[in-house]
Amino acid sequence: MSEPQIIIVGFMGSGKTTLARRLAELLHCHSLDLDALITERQRRTPQELIESDGEAAFRRIETEVLREALSATSSKVIAAGGGAWTIADNRDLIAAQGACAVWLDAPFDLCWQRIMGGQETRPLARTRQEAEALYCTRRPVYALADIRIPVYEHESVNELAARVARALVPGVPGK
């Protein structure tokens, strides 16, 4: 692949999956959601895997599926799960592939609002207190990403995708 893959990282509820789809449309390429691929391969959701097998087992599966996704030339934009970037082996895989990690830096209140409004249960964020502690713990690791993109509550996905595209490829019109 001539252009590097783009890995969208950030806390749960930051908009990684939605942004990855729209960004791929803007860049005329394919996107992939790592959690969806895990669900397809394992026939269980990340939530089910964490609840039945534990987080460590889920993270091992996540790393293997990430390795597979990085080697697939058809997926240029990959939405990683909220914890994928926090694992050093995953960051090493992404760096070895020459991929560009883009951190969607959404404020906690926005993430929590989206978590509460979503349909899935988040096993690592069952309460606001638990989620906020995890958010605070993960922020310094997210900051290791190649590009930081602040997320604003009233910004549309099109506006956000345009900003990300401009950060990645200066001169891209973004709409």
Sheet holding 75-79, edge to edge: 30-33, 75-79, 6-9, 100-105, 147-150
User: Where in the sequence is the domain holding 58, given as residue range(s)?
Assistant: 6-167
Considering the domain boundaries, does residue 174 fall inside one?
no
For the domain that residue 97 is a member of, what is the CATH number? 3.40.50.300
DSSP-assigned letters across all residues of 65-98 = HHHHHHH-TTEEEEE--TTGGGSHHHHHHHHHHT
CA distances from 67 to 35, 48, 127 (A): 13, 21, 31
Residue pair 90/138 in contact by the 8 Å Cβ criterion: no
What value does the mean pLDDT take over residues 127-154?
95
Could you tell me the two tokens for 83? 């914890």
Q: Report if residue 115 sits inside a domain.
A: yes
133 part of a folded domain: yes
* Number of residues written out for the chain: 175
* Separation of alpha carbons 68 and 66, rounded Å: 5
Is position 43 within any domain?
yes
- As a whole number of angstroms, the distance between CA 84 and CA 35 comes to 10
pLDDT band at 174 (very low <50, low <70, confident <90, very high): very low
d(CA 111, CA 117): 10
pLDDT of residue 73: 67
Structural domain total, the chain: 1
Does 77 fall in a domain? yes
pLDDT at 121: 65
pLDDT in tens, 74-132: 779 999 999 999 999 999 999 999 999 999 999 999 999 998 887 666 666 778 999 99
**What's the rounded Cα separation, in Å, for the pair 63 and 49?**
14
Question: Domain for residue 132, yes or no?
Answer: yes
Residue 45: both structure tokens together? 């959701």
19-52 pLDDT, tens digit each: 999 999 999 999 999 999 999 999 998 889 988 9
